[in-house]
Structure 1
């Protein structure tokens, strides 16, 4: 029991250390970028006319006043109190803006992640079972093509065909300006706006899930227990899903949890192409505007998401693959 607590304590210490390093990097990276954040408020001629006191007042208002060490201490205090300051772009609290955008990002990225993972795993397992055959070559070529196509190009193509030419879907946004005022009408309108972004993101990410599943399945299919089960006449579907895929699931689950941890970051490219009001577009706008408080808030939320996903993976690994539990016991012994 004491060894178990010792292992948990070491894990927690590692995660806290990673969080501290990530927080420090999040603080430093925006300040290493070239350019003067005051250019967002004033033009160059106005900045030259500002006195030192006026310049310092503006910098203090957005958390950039004082030395780097003073800014860093203030930044850490803000994290402890869940106060990331005020956004330069929106002139509102960073936490309020992130909370408003987060729901839209989850609504976009969660369905895309689930679809791309499910489709990639199913097709990857089927392709691996038919390795070397024409259907395997066709699927592999198709998925490699999807993997090579940039996500923004897929989105722009969908907009040009299905939104502009056919008029089936809207070209941008998360909802229409004018609605019928009913709850069901609002839900339909939001889902209608989600079709193209979700499809774009799913196609852009399905290739990696397919390739990982196919690779893991090929390794699993070559094991002795698979050859023995096939020799006993086990049905094809049982061989693929109950024997092969189940034992090849650990790397697939790892990739899923890592993608889940990055959900808060959303998809910058897809959200920008479709002008979707999520965290990804917010991050892009903050980089362009040199909005330090917003950048720090978004980066911190992404960091928390990734660390939480790692913790979730560590806890749930033994339920996905009992071999992970036995390995842990050996290490503790």
Structure 2
């Protein structure tokens, strides 16, 4: 399948570059898993506290960790986990005893819905606002001021501000959860719960994305073929939609794919702020209680998704560059 996708590039140099990135990605997956395991191994906390609300004696903590084979040396634990993963078994969660695969399968739809809808809206609004900033200098200053002002706020701070005003003070949207109890099947209720997390993600990234798209569009407008189109008497709308956007689309796609990592991490943080119940909240709980099978599975899945998104973006950019002036 990878070779079929590589056929999109159309020349040997790009093919070799894409293959090299895939090979690097495989080794990077191993490196991420090992580094993550080392950091979890030496971090504070213990899975023994996951299901115990009161304090426990050191002897009881040691006994629980010994029962879970956490007393073994680092390399022995990592080797056992790695061989299980290579066989397709992500083991079980140390906190709950459930299969890690089943936990991820249950909660990943929430993350995909939240992150996917927010990313699509972010792309749409950044392009619209970038075009608006080109039409009016006053709009340009206003968009830049508001956008960069919200970007300067940490994601969790912006989420808490939206909860304060739109949920606590004005009661427009619910403040947490994916749905109300007993209303899980109502799409309208789920959309209401989705509103604040999506707004947080979009607003926190919109300023930077809009400024990049604006800069790219200005670069496209400075090309000679734009003056040729104006000399032919073509309408500005036609030139913007068919020439400017087509020329700028390749760097825009490349930038959006490169920013996917920070956007995904922001999604995980937002899930924790709004108790949305997705992969992000699960990852945070796993880190707190050193549930390394669950944490490493989520890290590998996240890193693999980044590789896939960047590879597909490379394919799309190569296709767009074939028709770029």
Bucket of the pairwise TM-score, normalised by the shorter protein: 0.7 to 0.9
- The counterpart of 2:92, out of the listed 70, 75, 86, is 86
1:165 matched to which residue of 2? 169
Counterpart-to-counterpart distance in 1, 2:103 and 2:127: 36
Change (3 A) 1:45 1:112: closer
Distance in 1, matches of 2:196 and 2:61, equals 47
CA distance in 2, matches of 1:264, 1:153: 17
The counterpart of 2:67, out of the listed 55, 58, 66, is: 58
Q: Which residue of 1 aligns with 2:313?
A: 313
Within 2, Cα distance between the matches of 1:6 and 1:44? 57
Question: Which residues in structure 2 correspond to 1:205-244 (within 5 Å)?
Answer: 205-244=205-244
Instruction: Give 1:285 shift.
Output: 1.5
Distance 2:66 2:39 in 1: 23
Match of 2:78 in 1: 72
Q: Is the 8 A contact 1:262 1:306 kept in 2?
A: no
Deviations 1:192-211 (A, max 9, x none): 21112112211112122101
Number of the residue aligned with 1:301: 301
Distance in 1 between residues matched to 2:196 and 2:49, nearest whole Å: 36
**Cα deviation, residue 11, structure 1:** 4.3
User: Separation in 1 of the partners of 2:35 and 2:266?
Assistant: 20
Distance 1:219 1:50, change over 3 A: closer
- Aligned counterpart, 2:42: 32
Aligned residues: 314
1:146 aligns with 2:155: no
Equivalence for 2:103:
97
TM-score, normalised relative to structure 1: 0.83
Q: Deviations over 1:254-286 (max 9, x none)?
A: 233345577765613321221110111111122
The offset of 1:96, in angstroms, is 1.1
1:17-55 deviation per Cα after TM superposition (whole angstroms, max 9, x unaligned): 22232232233232232345445466775223667xx36
Matched-pair contact (CA < 8 Å) for 2:45–2:289: no
Return closer, same or farther for 1:129/1:19 CA change in 2, 3 Å cut-off.
Answer: farther
User: Structure 1: which 5+ runs fail to align?
Assistant: 327-333
The equivalent residue for 1:257 is 257
Q: Aligned to 2:121, which of 115, 124, 133?
A: 115
SS in 1 for 2:57: helix
**Deviation by residue 1:45-74 (Cα, 9 ceiling, x = unmatched):** 5223667xx3663241xxx34222222221
Distance 1:9 1:134 in 2: 47
2:138 is equivalent to residue 134 of structure 1: yes
